Amino acid sequence: HLVLVGNPGTGKTVVARHYSRLLFELGLVPADKCTEIDKSHLVGPYSGDAETRAREVLDAASPGVLFIDEAYTLNDPWSNIKGSGQRALEIIMKAMEDRRETLVVILAGYKKEMDDLMTVNPGLPSRIGATIEFPNYSLDELMEIARRSASKQKLNLDAGAVETLNQILGGLLSKPDFGN
């Protein structure tokens, strides 16, 4: 089981897909399947939906890899009672142990929010093999991506475009909620 943390656009989903395939090719999971979900697949409008939906998702994902994007949304911190997200997380945690031979769970999201999620249940961190942090791209890396994207479209960025793009991206990089 794995946690991937970082801002949007840093490659967490792509890495989860490749990791899933690698696990299968190494014989560590019996199926070449990566089921991608978010909280909406686990929590419904009615009390008790979380348990039913979580079990359905787990059955559909196993054998294989279950990738939960924005997993931090399963944390229900606004209440002193356990919310639907936390109930779904408990069922997933049990499956992480019970289905160890057939299911790998990958949780992904923003670093701070995922750190908070890891404190929701004391058993969660012990089930996670590793946490991988995905840093934001540097200005140089973003400029190279822009150049390559333009080139693929048979476009050339002139000096003015490069300067403007540098200014825009440089300003965006300083924002805490920057998405790559």
Q: What is the pLDDT of residues 27-61, one digit of tens each?
A: 999 999 999 999 999 988 777 788 999 999 999 99
Answering whether pTM is above 0.75, one says yes
- Output the pLDDT for position 59: 96
Distances 162 to 148, 149, 166 between C-alpha atoms, Å: 13, 13, 6
Model confidence at 77: pLDDT above 70: no
| Closest by Cα among 111, 60, 61, 109 to 85 | 109
pLDDT value, residue 177: 72
**Rounded mean pLDDT, 63-92:** 86
> In the 8-state DSSP scheme, what is residue 135?
P
Q: How many CA atoms lie within 13 A of 39 on its CB side?
A: 14
The three-state (H, E, C) secondary structure of 64-101, written as one string: EEEEECCHHHHCCCCCCCCCHHHHHHHHHHHHHHHCCC
Q: Give pLDDT tens digits for 83-129.
A: 888 889 999 999 999 999 999 999 999 999 999 999 988 899 999 98
At residue 95, the pLDDT reads 96
The pLDDT of residue 79 is: 59
- Report how far residue 45's alpha carbon sits from residue 35's, in angstroms, rounded to the nearest whole number: 22
pLDDT at 14 over 90: yes
Res 46: pLDDT: 77
DSSP strand E in 30-177: where?
34-37, 64-68, 103-109, 130-134
| pLDDT for 78 | 64
pLDDT digit string, tens, across residues 132-169: 999 988 999 999 999 999 999 999 999 999 999 999 99
